[in-house]
Amino acid sequence: MGSIKDKVAIIGVGCTKFGELWEKDPEDLVVEAAYEALDDAGVAPDDVQAAWIGILYPFTGLSGNTFSDPMKLFGIPVTRVENYCASGMDAFRNACYAVASGVYDVVVACGVEKLMDTGSAGLPMQGFSHPVFGGVSAPGLFALAATRCFNEYGWTKEDLARVAVKNHKNGALHPKAHFRRPITMEDALSAPMIAWPLGRFDCCAMSDGSAALVITRPEIAEKSKHKDDYVLVKANALATATGRPMFSNSTDFLGFPATRYAAKAAYAEAGVKDPAKEISLAEVHDCFSITEILNYQDLGFCAQGDGAAFVAEGHADVDGDLPVNASGGLKCFGHPIGATGCRMLYEITKQLQGRADGAQVKDPRLGLAHNLGGPGSVCSVTILGRKD
């Protein structure tokens, strides 16, 4: 097998404000994010040769039309990509291979979701697992891991709350985040229960939003607006695990094998031997507070069982040795599902370029973006690095 390392460059990024955007529809969001990315890249819409758009729910949009109709870019290949919460990063993945192959020169990867249009409490879960049985809410799925980890490792609700407090602190500084208010431990611990042991502040909110990236090969990037500071793709990995972990005899609910598989492949591709030391910052999938803690372990930032200590000891703070979710994460930035992967890459790109919108991590060299979808059954990991 080959490698994507250093074969793909990001030359422009765009992102809408995330939040309860009642007055905006998918067309508004796609146009805003894509045009911001194209302006950032200095690329005209007519120069786009292909596009991929990550969307989870059919009510947001079906087919590549969800990109081509708003942008009025017809005649080019446009594909809708769906892979649970990894949809946006999987759209990016497909775009990377298109330019790396040499067949396409300049393409767009985009993601969008209009969750607020559903009017329901929590994510619609129809179609997950089985039409008749196996029903559970999204928080409920991840709560199963929290319950088991409390039992195995002695973690507590306080450990979970620390993640929420950290991410709210970061989100408050980011102008595009959904929630921009710091919270206290007390706020987190006294919040209404959603799916025990996860309370309201352990769960990322429902949000609308879109993000987009313009992608090309390094030799073309050298002649672009961002010729001095374009960002290189060091690795891109995707891995699946069972979509029915609660029916699988071997699930231990102490971590997510999909993340471990994808991280291993990404580190090998990027040549990272000690992630805890070599990764400068990470945007990880904190759909729920417990997920972020398990992500630290599964991504190799710390040992199995040490996830709660990792955040308690401040390693994941913006000024810690491995800042995690400097943007505020899914918790605060929001999680319009199809958009999130692209939003993370937007954030890592701007952090590496020293022009982060919110809290800037000091002098980052390698950034990692991580998405975990479904019941932890699809994981995408991308590692980006500075060109120098």
Partner 1 sequence: MARIASSGAYVPLYRLSRQQIGDAWGIPAVPGERAVANADEDSLTMAVAAGLDCLVGIDASTIDGLFFATTTAPYNEKQSAGVIAAALDMRRDINTADFTGSLRAATTAMRAAMDAVDSGSAKNVLVVAADCRLGEPESMFEQLLGDGAGAVLVSKDGPVAIQGAYSLAGEQVGAWRRAEDRYVRSFESKVETQYGYATSAVAAGKALMEKQGVTAEGIAKAVITASDPRSYVAVGKALGFQPAQLQDTLFLSVGSSGAALALMMLAGALEQAKAGERIFLLNHGDGADALLLEMSDVIPEAAGRKGLIGHLFQKRQLPSYTAYAHFRHLTDREQPPAAGSPVTYWRDAAQELNFLGARCKSCGVVQYPPPRVCAECRTKDSFENVKLPRKGTVYTYTLDHLSGGQYLNVPIPRLVIDLDGGGRVFLEMTDGDPNEVKIGLPVEILFRRLHEGANFHNYYWKCRPLPQASS
Interface residues toward partner 1, by CB under 8 A:
118-122, 124, 126, 130-140, 143-148, 151, 192-198, 242, 246-251, 253
Q: DSSP characters for 124-154?
A: --TTSS-SSS----HHHHHHHHHHHHHHHH-
| Cα-only R_g, the chain | 19
**Residue 175 neighbours by CB distance under 10 Å:** 8
3-state secondary structure 356-388: CCCCCCCCCCEEEEEEEECCCCEEEEEEEEECC
Kindly tell me which of 2 and 249 has the beta carbon lying closer to partner 1. Answer: 249
Kindly tell me which of 254 and 312 has the beta carbon lying closer to partner 1. Answer: 254
Kindly tell me which of 34 and 378 has the beta carbon lying closer to partner 1. Answer: 378
Kindly tell me which of 219 and 249 has the beta carbon lying closer to partner 1. Answer: 249
Give least dist CB 308 to partner 1, A.
17
Q: With b meaning 16 or more CB within 10 Å and e meaning fewer, what string describes 63-90?
A: ebebbbbbbebeebebbbbbbbbbbbbb
Positive or negative torsion for Cα 291, 293, 299, 305: negative
Give least dist CB 29 to partner 1, A.
23
Q: Chain centroid to CA 75: how far?
A: 30
Residue 335 annotated to the active site: yes
Give least dist CB 198 to partner 1, A.
8
Which one from 15, 85, 332, 379 is the annotated catalytic residue? 85
Which one from 178, 226, 335, 370 is the annotated catalytic residue? 335
φ/ψ region of 334 (left if φ > 0, alpha if ψ in -120 to 50, else beta) reads left
Kindly tell me which of 101 and 151 has the beta carbon lying closer to partner 1. Answer: 151
Give least dist CB 144 to partner 1, A.
5
Residue 226 annotated to the active site: no
Crossing angle of helices 87-100/337-352, nearest 10°? 60
3-class SS at 246?
helix
Kindly tell me which of 248 and 304 has the beta carbon lying closer to partner 1. Answer: 248
**Residue 361 neighbours by CB distance under 10 Å:** 20
Give least dist CB 80 to partner 1, A.
22
Give least dist CB 251 to partner 1, A.
8
- With beta carbons less than 8 A apart as the criterion, state whether 273 and 235 touch: no
Rounded to whole angstroms, the Cα distance separating 383 from 280 reads: 11
Q: Chain centroid to CA 227: how far?
A: 26
Residues catalogued as catalytic: 85, 335
